[in-house]
Structure 1
Amino acid sequence: MTAALHLNDANLSPLAAVRSRIARAAALAGRKPDDIALIAISKTQTAEAIAPLIAQGQRVFGENRVQEAQGKWPALIEAHPDIRLHLVGQLQSNKAEDAVRQFDVIHSLDRASLVTALGQAMDKTARRVPLFVQVNIGAEDQKGGCAIADVPGLLAQARAADLPVAGLMCVPPVGIEAAPFFALLGKIALDNGLHDLSMGMSDDFETAVMLGATHVRVGSALFGARR
């Protein structure tokens, strides 16, 4: 369930090609492309590699690690204050304050201890950073995320702590058709009164768009294969 890759995409920059594919997938689903945020996943990329995307107008980027972001983004953001930085990797509770200070959105709320840590960090910094609850949608032991059955309870804890939960995030199992997992995440969000869905990466973002993604996390299709 993907939008066809048009031959004329080969004449576009990687960023323009990805945006074109998002637009086509959105059209097939009767959606507006502007309703889908493209997060350029810049983990392991240097500032020099990121600069061309910024020059082409990309302003939303994603990082996996707090320390890596602290090392390369302050100067880039100083030069381009409209950049918005998303944390898409696992977050340790002892890094919660650093994450709240550095990032504009956090996609990896997955446990009660992190609810507490993020609540304290937001109170201390006076920043209310939107959060996505990460769901272990494929029930994989090796992946982070909240178990599907535990989502309502974790959301209740987050809401009781007055945390700004925007939606749900998932990473489907590798090598399996992603569509059922994306559809399931959408149902869980709907059942729990949430709208935003952070789902879809380089190999499946078109499928995610057609199934309601509001945020897609694209790395290798923009930067090439990671070293």
Structure 2
Amino acid sequence: MPLSDILDRIRAEEERTGRAPGSARLVAVSKVQPLERVIAVLEEGHRLFGENKVQEAAAKWPELKERFPGVELHLIGPLQTNKVRQAMELFDAIETLDRPKLARSIARLKDELGHCPRLFVQVNTGEEEQKAGIMPADADAFIAECRGLGLEIEGLMCIPPADEEPSLHFALLRKIAGRNGIAELSMGMSGDFEKAVAQGATYLRVGSAIFGERVYS
């Protein structure tokens, strides 16, 4: 589906739900996509992208950022503590802050490097054992712990269970954000981004609907 069609659908849902135009931003998820597809989207003028792995992003984005000024890059996959420094130097936002050890590593390197990406706490709204993210019941305490370390939490992120109604999970994430004074919500993917707009998403992570099916080597 052309990028313009996705953007039109987002704008239409914003209008339908009475939201300000442009209040839901599209993160083009470029993980495991051929470079030519990523460049094609960049050439259309899009500048906000998401990657799942630090190593994959490091292999392509420094050069692309030089070639296409204004790129904003979000890490949307799990972050290992041994990759924190590299992630903080490469990404503009880390959406997968999900445990105290990781928070402490980011806080330490924030002081050392003198800067910090924008931070989102990942909440495991479905309480799935195989999925990363802080449990909903622990979210308030974890957000407070992060703030106690001097970290500014700008947003929350979730990935709903594949077999459940996503709107329920989006509503839960919005509720947690509201009571913690958090403005940004990263939620919604290719199959449910319009429902996410309706629930207040400010970032929508869409991959295959833009780029086509992923090519795994």
Same fold (TM over 0.5): yes
1:46 match: 34
What are the superposed Cα offsets for residues 126-176 of structure 1, whole Å, 9 maximum, x if unpaired? 112111000000010110000011111111111111112101100000022
Mapped to 2, the partners of 1:149 and 1:177 lie a distance apart of 20
Is the counterpart of residue 177 in structure 1 residue 165 in structure 2? yes
CA distance in 2, matches of 1:167, 1:83: 19
Q: Gapped runs of 5+ residues in structure 2?
A: none
Which residue number in structure 2 is paired with residue 191 of structure 1?
Answer: 179
Aligned to 1:102: 90
Q: Is the 8 A contact 1:65 1:87 kept in 2?
A: yes
Q: Which residue of 1 aligns with 2:134?
A: 146
Structure 1 residue 167 corresponds to structure 2 residue 155: yes
Q: Which runs of 5+ in 1 are unaligned?
A: 1-12
Hey, what does 2:143 align to over in structure 1? 155
* Misfit runs of 4+, over 3 Å: none
- Name the CA distance, whole Å, in 1 between partners of 2:87 and 2:111: 13
**Contact persistence 1:47–1:76 (CA under 8 A):** no
Tell which deviates more after alignment, 43-52 or 70-79.
43-52
**Paired positions, count:** 215
Q: Distance in 2 between matches of 1:96 and 1:37?
A: 25
What is residue 10 of structure 1 aligned with on the other side?
A: none
- Please name the residue that 1:7 is paired with: none
Task: Measure, in 1, the Cα distance between the counterparts of 2:148 and 2:41.
Answer: 39
Matched, 1:34 2:34: no
- 1:8 maps to what in 2? none
Equivalent residues of 2:140, 2:176 under 8 A apart: no
Match of 1:221 among 209, 213, 216: 209
Does the aligned pair in 2 maintain the 1:97–1:122 contact within 8 Å?
A: no
User: What root-mean-square deviation, in Å, do the aligned CA atoms of Structure 1 and Structure 2 show?
Assistant: 0.9
